[in-house]
Amino acid sequence: MNTRLKFVLGVALLAAAPWASAQVYKCKGASGETVYSQDPCGKGAEPVKLRSIRASTETAGEAANRSAVYRTTELSDAGIAERNCLQSEQSRIYGPLDARAQAANRQVADLNRQLAGASGSLAGATADAGIRAQISSLQQSLSAERSAADSQMSSARDRCSAARRDREKQVHDKYDASAAAAN
């Protein structure tokens, strides 16, 4: 057996040792390398003291502390989810409206330039009234869209808030049930 294989075998034996009832011995190989074996491998073999791998016991205080940390983290996650929900809804609702508002504002600016160039004649006054009506119509349309978007956002806030409350209730129920089971 080569040295590397012996070493790997020795480490494997050490790893399996807590589950096995056999003793493990540490020896020197023919080339002076360290070898681990279940059987004494010569007069220089030394038994290896193995530490058992067992589950650590957790005190009631430690368990309560861990539970409190998990609960707080989950409640914080519910708040973050609500904030993400609101940001998503705001982008979905106001993003297209903002793009339309920019386009309408450009149209209003163009119409205002046309107003500035209107002449003082009767035809100019008629054109002036038509331009003012277009500007008013664009502004009313934007105002109505903004009002509808505000209403949609209010409903979205209610949905996001309700989702947070539901999640918080689940967290409270989960940890209250855990605490009751522990007692």
Distances (CA, A) of 71 to 43, 66, 112, 161: 58, 9, 59, 19
Task: Determine the angle formed by the axes of helices 122-182 and 60-116, rounding to 10 degrees.
Answer: 180
Q: Which residues make Cβ contacts (< 8 Å) with residue 134, sequence separation at least 6?
A: 107, 111
- The predicted pLDDT at position 6 comes to 55
Is pLDDT larger for residue 92 or for residue 6?
Answer: 92
Quote the pTM value: 0.57
Question: How does pLDDT run across 104-151, given as a tens digit for each residue?
Answer: 999 999 998 888 876 666 667 788 888 899 999 999 999 999 999 999
Residue 100 CA neighbour count, 13 Å, CB half: 14
